[in-house]
Amino acid sequence: MAERSIKDKDKAADRPFTTLSGLPLERLYAPEDPAAWASDETPGFPGEFPYTRGIHPTMYRGRLWTMRQYAGFGTAAESNRRYRYLLNQGQTGLSVAFDLPTQIGLDSDNPLSRGEVGKVGVAIDSLEDMETLLDSIPLDRISTSMTINATAAILLALYVAVAKKQGADLRRLSGTIQNDILKEYIARGTYIYPARPALRLVTDTFAWCNVELPEWNTISISGYHIREAGATAVQEVAFTLADAIAYVDAARKAGLDVDQFGPRLSFFFVAQTDLLEEVAKFRAARRLWARIVRDRFGAQNPRSMMLRFHSQTAGSALTAQQPENNIVRVAIQALAAVLGGCQSLHCNALDEALALPTEQSALLALRTQQVLAAESGVTNTVDPVGGSWSIEKLTGEIEMRAEEYIAKIDAMGGMLRAIETGFVQGEIQRAAYEYQLAVERDERVVVGVNRFTTEEQRPISLLRVDPEIERAQVERVQALRARRNAEAVNAALAEVERRARTEENLLPAILAAVESYATVGEISDALRRVFGEYRESVVV
């Protein structure tokens, strides 16, 4: 049973835990009769199928979640300074934000990049930039998450190239690339290629990492952006897991076994402010995914069935009005993620409705996680909300309604077809519209916006990205092109294009191209010549 697993798997978790007043806390609370929670239809025990109560028997008593503050802006050198600052303040993993041109495969000197270089993340054009970004950060000892999708294979190759230069053992590299292209067509829009060749890049990454980077999480299937676009909690779970089903189907068609790549799948969910619903949402997602992987795909490895997830507090919940209120919102949302059993967490900063976070506000966001971990007491017992009647009822309700959505998508022919017909986008748009109407009718309260407002607005200091950064970045990439070995670059790009016309894995060619100092835009263009570009249909 779970008690035996706890003792066997983590002796450190046996140390005594108490409340602030000195009252003893058990490792785990459960019914007196363990058989009452021993079936698939009940919450069960942490670390046991269907993982409703968490994927590890000891959860945070054995190891805290990774505190991974999302950061990146301006130049690689500026972002490197921010990363090293946060690591020195106790952050335990990197989370890299890339600027818009990098996300859609454009170099900084492309005319379409004008005005966007370094604005919403760091500008990365080449291996030279990636070397600067990761300078003095030991990649074999730090976990890195990169929020990148259409160009995920290229940015992963850049990361690997830097690790090789550091002399790191690639088999020990740990981290995640988001690499979730389907949600770009649904909610976010940073796609390049049509969906089917874009899926091929995803599965090529699965196959290559299975051999070369066995500890790397090859995808972070994102409900975050689906929810931020206006989806409900039920839709977030349903559409995220439907995307995941599509990825597993595509990988299996490419000849991969679910138990080969399944343990490296990870998920990314928002933590919204409705505390009880959010906790139940995370539990429902874990339980539903465990059953899907076992029953639909026939997985045998328990690790394939474990839904591991990163969470980020809700950007859409932040308000420009009374921005100090965002500190409270973020704390509640972070608590929901922790009570829901996240494996890593990012807390938004109070000023992010207005600008990129300042160093001070980013530090406060990190401190929010640290207060939760060190002072709140919620980490001292495994799954403290397990058995709550309201939580268990909500968990079952979300799971049931998400299953209904997935069945409807299956009947349409799967998630790709549901996206192509606009079904998923329409459902999200309807939910977003209904929520906005509720706010405007005063049926949903947003403190400081439609209730408890004030005329007085206290100014706060904001981060401003220097426009000079773009000019300097353009000069940097142009200088690189002038001094690199053009013949080697052209040969590497030709190999990328050749492989794209075959069924050969693209990752070895992409890695060779970045090591020759081909740019992100040049590699993306080589693939564009074969795959074409996606243009969204607009119906008026």
Backbone angles phi, psi at 179, to 5 degrees: 55, 25
Closest among 108, 98, 152 to 522, alpha carbons compared: 108
CA–CA dist 357, 31 (Å, integer): 45
pLDDT, residue 538, reads: 55
Q: Would you call the peptide bond into 50 cis, given omega within 30 degrees of 0 as the criterion?
A: yes
Q: Tell how strand 17-18 and strand 24-25 pair up.
A: antiparallel
Q: What are phi and psi of 375, to 5 degrees?
A: -120, -25
Distance in angstroms (rounded) separating the CA atoms of residues 238 and 401: 8
- For the stretch 499-515, pLDDT in tens is 999 999 999 999 999 99
For 61-116, what is each residue's pLDDT tens digit? Answer: 999 999 987 767 778 998 899 889 888 888 878 889 999 999 999 999 999 999 99
Instruction: Please answer whether residues 247 and 217 qualify as being in contact, where contact means their C-beta atoms are separated by less than 8 angstroms.
Output: no
| pLDDT for the residue numbered 37 | 65
E-strand ranges in 321-457 read 344-346
**HEC per residue, 173-199:** CEEEECCCCHHHHHHHCCCCCCHHHHH
Q: Is there a contact between 226 and 236 (Cβ–Cβ < 8 Å)?
A: yes
Half-sphere exposure of 189 (CA within 13 A, CB side): 6
- Rounded to a whole number, what is the distance in angstroms from the first to the last CA of the chain? 58
Q: In the predicted model, is pLDDT for residue 41 greater than 70?
A: no
What's the average model confidence in pLDDT over 382-388?
A: 95
pLDDT digits (tens, 9 = 90+) for 108-158: 999 999 999 998 899 999 999 999 999 999 999 889 999 999 999 999 999
pLDDT at 31 over 80: yes
The model's pLDDT over 162-187, given as tens digits with 9 standing for 90+, comes to 999 999 999 999 999 999 999 999 99
Amino acid 490 reads N
Average pLDDT over residues 311-334: 97
pLDDT at 6: 35
What is the number of residues in the chain?
Answer: 540
| Edge-to-edge strands, sheet with 309-313 | 66-67, 344-346, 309-313, 265-271, 219-222
Those residues whose C-beta lies under 8 Å from the C-beta of residue 110, and which sit 6 or more positions away, are 101, 521
pLDDT, mean over the chain: 92
Residue 540 pLDDT exceeds 50: no
Range 59-440 has CATH code 3.20.20.240: yes
* pLDDT at residue 14, rounded to an integer: 61
Residue 35: count of CB within 10 angstroms of its CB: 9
Q: Quick one: pLDDT at residue 5?
A: 38
127 vs 539, higher pLDDT: 127
Asked if residue 238 has pLDDT above 70, the reply is: yes
Distance CA 34, CA 45 (A): 9
Kindly tell me the burial class for residue 433, based on how many C-beta atoms sit within 10 Å of its own C-beta (0-12, 13-18, 19 or more).
exposed
Question: Domain segments of the chain: what residues?
Answer: 59-440
Instruction: Give the pLDDT confidence score for residue 120 in this predicted structure.
Output: 87
Band (pLDDT 50/70/90 cuts) for residue 327 is very high
**pLDDT of residue 11 exceeding 60:** no
Structural contact between residues 24 and 15, judged by C-beta atoms closer than 8 angstroms: no
319 with 326: CB under 8 angstroms? yes
Q: Which among 282, 303, 328 has a CA at the least distance from the CA of 56?
A: 303
| Residue reference for tokens 């001292």 | 380
What does the pLDDT read at residue 4? 36
In which band, very low, low, confident or very high, does the pLDDT at 36 lie, cut at 50, 70 and 90? Answer: low
Residue type for position 290: A
Give tens-digit pLDDT for 348-378: 999 999 988 888 998 999 999 999 999 999 9
Closest of 91, 118, 94 to residue 107, by C-alpha: 118
For residues 18 and 24, the answer to whether their CB atoms sit within 8 Å is yes
Q: What is the pLDDT of residue 539?
A: 46
- What CA–CA distance (Å, rounded) separates 310 from 234? 18
Question: What is the DSSP secondary structure assignment for residue 260, as one 8-state letter?
Answer: H
Q: 5-14, 118-127, 453-462, 531-540: lowest mean pLDDT where?
A: 5-14
- pLDDT band for position 40 (cuts 50, 70, 90): low
Higher pLDDT: 56 or 1? It is: 56
The pLDDT of residue 34 is: 66
Q: Where are the beta strands (DSSP E) in 213-331?
A: 216-217, 219-222, 265-271, 309-313
Nearest to 509 by CA among 526, 495, 490, 489: 495
Q: What is the mean pLDDT of residues 283-289?
A: 98
Mean pLDDT of 478-496: 98
In this prediction, residue 466 has a pLDDT band, given cuts at 50, 70 and 90, of: confident
Q: How far, in Å, CA of 382 to CA of 538, rounded?
A: 49
The helix or strand, by DSSP H or E, that contains position 24, with its residue range, turns out to be strand 24-25
DSSP letters for 68-129: --EE--BSHHHHHHHHHHHHHTT--EEEEEB-HHHHTT--TTSGGGTTTTTSSSB---SHHH
User: Mapping DSSP to helix (H, G, I), strand (E, B) and coil, where does residue 267 land?
Assistant: strand
